Chains A and B, each alone.
Chain A
Amino acid sequence: MKQFNGQVLFLDRDDINTDEIIPAKYLTENSKEALKPHILEDLHLDGFNAGRDIAGKSIIVAKSNFGCGSSREHAVWVFEVNDIKVVIAESFARIFRQNMFNCGMLAIELPKNEIDTLFLLGENTVINVDLEQNKIIAQNEQGRKEEFSFTLNPFDRELVLADGWLAYADSKY
C-alpha cells in the first residue's frame, strides 16, 4: 500500500484558487520541474511566506473550495514536484480534485469541525494517512493526537493505487 505521511502546511483560507497556487505566467513551462520554485507564489495569506513555509512539508490542510479557478493541472504538479502528495480540505473544486486523483495523489474531504480541530494542532504537526483503514492520524509537537476517518470512493482509491488515470485507462479501455 502506498504511504502518505509527513509535516503539515496549514493554509487558513477558503477559495484558494489555482492562480494563487501557480500563476498563469508559468503555464508556458513545458516541464513539471520548472514549476517547483513558484509554488503558492501569489497566495495572499496573513503571515504566509512561500519561501520560508513550504520546505519539508508534504501534506496541506486547508478550508473550503480548495483549488477553484482554472483547470490547470500545473496546480497539482507544483505540489507533486515539491513532494506534497496530499491535500486535506473541507471541500474541493471539481477539476482540482479530479486532477489530484488522476495523478495518483490524494484529495481528502473532512467536515469543517474536524478541519478546525486539525488547525488547532498548530505548526509542526505530522499527519499519517492510513489508506487501509481510511484514517488520518495527526500528531503535534506536544504529542497531542487526533484521529479521523474519511471516505474515499472506490474509483478514486483505484486511481491512487494505479498511479493515476492514464495508467488505469490504458489498461482498461
Chain B
Amino acid sequence: AYVFTFNLTFLFNMVKKLDSLWTIDFQCIRSVRIMGKTIAEKIFAAHLRDEPSPGNVVLDIDVILCHEITTPIAINDLVAKNRDRVFDPDKIKAVIDHVTPAKDSKTATQGKILRDWARRHKIKDFFDIGRNGVCHAIFPEKGFIRPGYTVIMGDSHTCTHGAFGAFAAGVGTTDLEVGILKGVCSFREPKTMKVYISGKLPDTVSAKDVILNIIKQISVNGATDMVMEFVGPVVEQMSMEARMTLCNMAIEAGGTSGICMPDRVTVEYLWPFIKDSYASVDEAVADSKKWHSDPDAVYAKELRIDVSGLQPQVTYGFKPDEVKDITDMEGTPIDQVYIGSCTNGRIEDLRAAAAILANRTIAPTVRGILSPATPAIYSRAMAEGLIKVFMDAGFCVTNPTCGACLGMSNGVLAEGEACASTTNRNFNGRMGKGGMVHLMSPLSAAAAAIAGHITDPGKYL
C-alpha cells in the first residue's frame, strides 16, 4: 500500500507540473487523490486562494479578530502606508480586552486607536468597556466562530477557536495587516498531530489537567507547525467550554491550531446564531460532519492518552511543559490565586472553583482575584450566586479583562511572589518581573486559595 501511495504522489506531482503547461484544473485533480483528508486539510482546500510555492498556501479568511494590543500598531502602519482600508467590515471583529479600563495614557491611546478605527470603518462588532471581555471567550460566545471557518488574530491563543471545528491561528502584525486589507493569510500546508483521549476523567481532573499533561509529554515544541486534532470519547463528552480550554493551550506545545470535530455539542452551542440556516439541529449536525477528518487521513504524529489515572497537573518552572502531578507539588506556598483568562475564565470554571470555595474562606496569606472572562459569564455567575461565593470566600472580583494574565494590570506579582493561576503561560516574568506562575485548573487554584499552598483539590470536594 505504501508503494502504491508513493506512486500516486509521484503521478500527482507530474500532473501538477503538467498543469502549469496545460491549464488542467489543478483543484479537480487534487480531489481525486485517494488519500483521505484531515479536517484542517479540508478547511484549507475549501479556502485556497493561491499556492505561491509548493507547500505554501494563501487562504481566504472568514473572520479576523482584533484586540487593542496588537492591532493599533497595524492600524498605524496601514495609515502610514496610505492603506487605511478594510476588506470587509463584517468579517472583522474587535475588542478592547487586555488592559481595560485603561490604566495609563499609553493603554488609553491604544484603546482609542482601535475604537476610532472601528468607527471609521463601520466595524459593528466592536466591544468596548461595559460590553467587553477576553477575546477568546467573547468572540465564540457571540457565535462568530463556525465549523469549517478560517480565523486569524494577532494573538497566539487564537488556537482556542479550533474547538468549533475551525482552523484558527495566531499571527503577527504584518499578517494581521494583510488580513485586514485583503482578507487573506499565508500558511504552510498543515500537518496534523492526532491526540486521541480516552478513559474516564476523575472528579478532580479537567480539560486543563489533560492539556497540561499532553504538553508535558510532547514538550513546548512537540507540535510546532502542526494542527493538534483532539479526538476520542473524552473529547466527545466535553462541553464547548472544556474543548476551548483544550485547544487554547495547543500553542504552548507549538501547535498552529487546536481543533475538535464539530458535533451536536458544537451545534447546540451555536444554535441561536445558526437556527435560520438549518431546518433542525439534526440537519446542522449532519452538515457539520462534512468537515470531519476522513478515516484514512494521514497524520504526522499520533498521541494516545488515557486519562482515567490522571492526577491534577501543575507547572513548576518557567515553561508550560514543566509539569508535575499535584501531589508532587503539595505544600508549595502561594501568594496570589488568579482565576480567569481565555483558558479558564468561563462559567464552568467559575462553577468548579465555587464548588470548593462555598462556605470556606481563603487563607489570610493569599490574595484571591477572579476575573469572569466576559460580561455574560459575569452576570450568569451573579444569577447563579457564584459571585457571592467568591466574595464571601475573600476574593476580589474584577471586571472581565486579561490584565493579570500577562502582567499588565489587575494583579501584577511582586518579585519573589508565586501565583496559582488558571491562565496558560508561566514564562519568567509573565505576571510580573521576578514572579512565579503555577498553571493549574480552577479546582486546583481554588484549593490553593483555601490552603494557602498548592494542594490536591480532592480533599475539599
Using a CB–CB cutoff of 8 Å, the interface residues on chain A facing chain B are 15, 17, 19-20, 23-25, 27-30, 42, 44, 64-65, 68-74, 76, 91, 93-95, 98-99, 102-103, 153-156, 158, 164-166, 169-170, 172-173
Tally of contacts, chain A with chain B, CB under 8 A: 135
Give Cα A72 to B158, complex, Å: 13
Residue numbers in A under 8 Å from B109 (CB-CB): 30
* 6 closest A-B pairs by CB: A73-B172, A99-B172, A102-B174, A154-B53, A155-B56, A73-B173
Known: A30-B76, A169-B184, A173-B50. A19 touches B430 (CB 8 A): yes
Please measure, in the bound complex, the distance between the C-alpha atom of A20 and the C-alpha atom of B319, giving whole angstroms.
12
Q: Which B residues are in CB contact (< 8 Å) with A91?
A: 221, 224
Q: Which of B110, B174, B181, B184 contacts A99 (CB 8 A)?
A: B174
Distance to closest chain B CB from A112 (angstroms): 13
Offer 17 A-B interface pairs, CB within 8 angstroms, sorted by A. A15-B221, A24-B407, A28-B104, A28-B110, A30-B109, A42-B429, A42-B433, A71-B156, A73-B174, A102-B175, A155-B52, A165-B178, A165-B186, A169-B182, A170-B83, A170-B181, A173-B49
Given A20-B428, A91-B224, A169-B178, A15 contacting B106 (CB threshold 8 A): no
Could you tell me the distance between the alpha carbons of A125 and B257 in the complex, rounded to whole angstroms? 38
Q: Which of A24, A98, A154, A158 contacts B175 (CB 8 A)?
A: A98
Distance between Cα atoms of A69 and B251 in the complex (Å):
8
Residue B195 is within 8 A (CB to CB) of chain A in the complex: no
Chain B positions 159 through 181: 1 when the CB is less than 8 Å from some CB of chain A, otherwise 0 = 00000000000111111011001
Contacts A24-B406, A30-B73, A103-B174 given; does A69 touch B81 at CB 8 Å: no
Query: Within 8 Å of chain A (Cβ to Cβ): is B194?
Result: no
Which of chain B's residues has its CB closest to A164's CB?
Answer: B174
> How far is it, in angstroms, between the C-alpha of A69 and the C-alpha of B430 when the chains are bound?
11
Are B178 and A153 neighbours in the complex by a CB distance under 8 Å?
A: no
**Residue of chain B at shortest CB distance from A32:** B73
Instruction: Kindly provide the distance from the CB of B258 to the nearest chain A CB, expressed in whole angstroms.
Output: 14
State the Cβ distance, B2 to closest chain A Cβ, in Å: 26
Assign chain B's interface to a size class.
35 or more
Q: Name the A residues within 8 Å of B178 (CB-CB).
A: 165-166, 169-170
Residues of A within 8 A of B73 (CB): 30, 73-74
- Residue B154 at the chain A interface, CB threshold 8 Å: yes
Kindly report which residue of chain A lies nearest to residue B56, judged by CB atoms.
Answer: A155
| B58 in contact (CB, < 8 A) | yes
Not counting A65-B220, A91-B221, A99-B174, a sample of 12 additional A-B residue pairs whose C-beta atoms are within 8 angstroms of each other reads A19-B430, A20-B428, A23-B429, A24-B408, A68-B220, A93-B224, A94-B225, A95-B171, A99-B173, A155-B56, A166-B174, A166-B177
CA distance A93 to B50 in the complex (A): 24
Give chain B nearest CB distance to A140 CB in angstroms. Answer: 29
B residues in contact with A94, CB < 8 Å: 224-225, 254, 256
The answer to whether B147 has its CB under 8 Å from any CB of chain A is no
Contacts A19-B430, A30-B109, A71-B154 given; indicate if A95 touches B172 (C-beta within 8 A). Answer: yes
Most buried by B among A19, A28, A172: A28
A168 to B29, CA, bound (A): 28
**B positions within 8 Å CB-CB of A:** 49-50, 52-56, 58, 69-70, 72-73, 76, 81, 83, 99, 104, 106-107, 109-110, 113, 154-156, 158, 170-175, 177-178, 181-182, 184, 186, 220-221, 224-225, 254, 256, 319, 406-408, 425, 427-430, 433
Give Cα distance in the complex from A70 to B254, angstroms. Answer: 10
A108 to B: closest C-beta gap in Å: 16
Chain A contacts for B56, CB-based, 8 A:
153-156
Whether B429 pairs with A95 at a CB distance below 8 angstroms is: no
Residues of chain A contacted by B55 (CB below 8 angstroms): 153
Contact pick for A173, options B158, B182, B256, CB 8 Å: B182
Residues in B with CB closer than 8 Å to A73 are 70, 73, 154, 172-174
Nearest-neighbour CB distance to chain A for B233, whole angstroms, equals: 30
Q: Are A17 and B427 in contact (CB under 8 A)?
A: yes
Q: Which residues of chain B have C-beta atoms less than 8 A from A169's C-beta?
A: 58, 178, 181-182, 184
A68 in contact with B221 given A19-B428, A99-B174, A173-B58 (CB within 8 Å): yes
Q: Closest CB-CB distance, A32 to chain B, in whole Å?
A: 8
With a cutoff of 8 Å between Cβ atoms, the chain B residues found around residue A153 in the complex are 53, 55-56
Within 8 Å CB of A19, what residues of B? 425, 427-430
Asked whether, in the complex, the Cβ of A165 is within 8 Å of the Cβ of B175, the reply is yes
Cα A120 to Cα B305 in complex, Å, equals: 41
> Which residues of B have CB within 8 Å of A15?
220-221, 319
Docked Cα-Cα span, A85 to B430, in Å, equals 26
Q: Which residue of A lies closest to B432 (CB)?
A: A25
A95 CB to closest chain B CB (Å) equals 6
Task: Using known A-B contacts A15-B220, A155-B52, determine if residue A71 contacts B81 with beta carbons closer than 8 Å.
Answer: no
A84 to chain B, nearest CB (A): 17
Q: With A166-B178, A169-B184 given, is the CB distance from A20 to B427 under 8 Å?
A: yes
Q: CA–CA, A98 to B175, complex, Å?
A: 9
Q: Let me know if B407 and A25 touch, CB within 8 A.
A: yes
| A23 vs B173: C-alpha distance when bound (angstroms) | 17
Residues of B within 8 A of A28 (CB): 69, 99, 104, 106-107, 110
A69 touches B156 (CB 8 A): yes
Q: Which one of B49, B70, B186 lies within 8 Å of A71 (CB-CB)?
A: B70
Which residues of chain B have C-beta atoms less than 8 A from A20's C-beta?
427-428
Bound-state CA distance A170–B174 (Å) is: 12
